């Protein structure tokens, strides 16, 4: 009887200690930065110039619509429209609207979490808008 209780006790201790290790491995820290799921570069198809005025870039799925924000990639010194953050992963279509260009709708783009679950794998899209 004592040996059975000892074996059950050891098994319980080992099971608890291994679950604690898994919890530590999946801990996300605030200093890991903001994780961006979608980066879109938009150019005029005729002039190859980046379009940073007058357009609206949206990521749309079945439950939400996210308006992407214009930002500058500090490493590459390039402008991009960015959006879709942690806990917003899913499958989106990018829609770009402007009165001076043809409407653009992308194929589905899937935004996924990183393996550790602490960030997103950034999907990049380059679009050449056709002027009307």
For the segment 39-67, what is each residue's pLDDT rounded down to a tens digit?
Answer: 999 999 999 999 999 999 999 999 999 99
What pLDDT score does 11 carry?
A: 37
C-alpha closest to that of 40 among 32, 49, 53, 50? 50
Of the candidate CATH numbers 2.30.30.40, 2.60.40.1120, 3.40.50.300, 2.40.37.10, the domain formed by 32-129 belongs to 2.60.40.1120
Residue 84 burial class via C-beta count within 10 angstroms: exposed 0-12, middle 13-18, buried 19 and up: buried
Interatomic CA distance for residues 112 and 93, integer angstroms = 14
Q: Average of pLDDT values for 5-24?
A: 41
- Quote the pTM value: 0.75
Q: What does each C-alpha distance from 128 to 3, 43, 67, 71 come to in angstroms?
A: 73, 5, 19, 18
Query: What's the pLDDT band for 26 if we cut at 50, 70, 90?
Result: low
Specify the pairing of strand 104-105 against strand 56-60.
unpaired
What pLDDT score does 25 carry?
A: 55
For the segment 72-116, what is each residue's pLDDT rounded down to a tens digit?
Answer: 988 888 999 999 988 899 999 999 999 999 999 999 999 999 998
Interatomic CA distance for residues 113 and 90, integer angstroms = 9
Query: What's the pLDDT band for 6 if we cut at 50, 70, 90?
Result: very low
């Amino acid at each position: 009887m004592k040996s059975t209780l000892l074996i059950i006790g050891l098994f319980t201790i080992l099971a608890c200690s291994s679950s604690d290790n898994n919890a530590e491995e999946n801990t996300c820290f605030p200093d890991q930065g903001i994780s961006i799921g979608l980066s879109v570069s938009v150019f005029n198809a005729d002039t190859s110039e980046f379009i940073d005025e007058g357009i609206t870039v949206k990521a749309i799925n079945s439950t939400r619509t996210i308006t992407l924000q214009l930002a500058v990639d500090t490493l590459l010194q390039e402008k991009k429209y960015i959006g879709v953050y942690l806990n917003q992963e899913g499958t989106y279509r990018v829609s770009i609207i402007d009165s001076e260009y043809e409407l653009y709708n992308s194929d589905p783009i899937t935004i996924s979490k990183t393996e550790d679950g602490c960030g997103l794998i950034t999907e990049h899209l380059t679009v050449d808008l056709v002027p009307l």
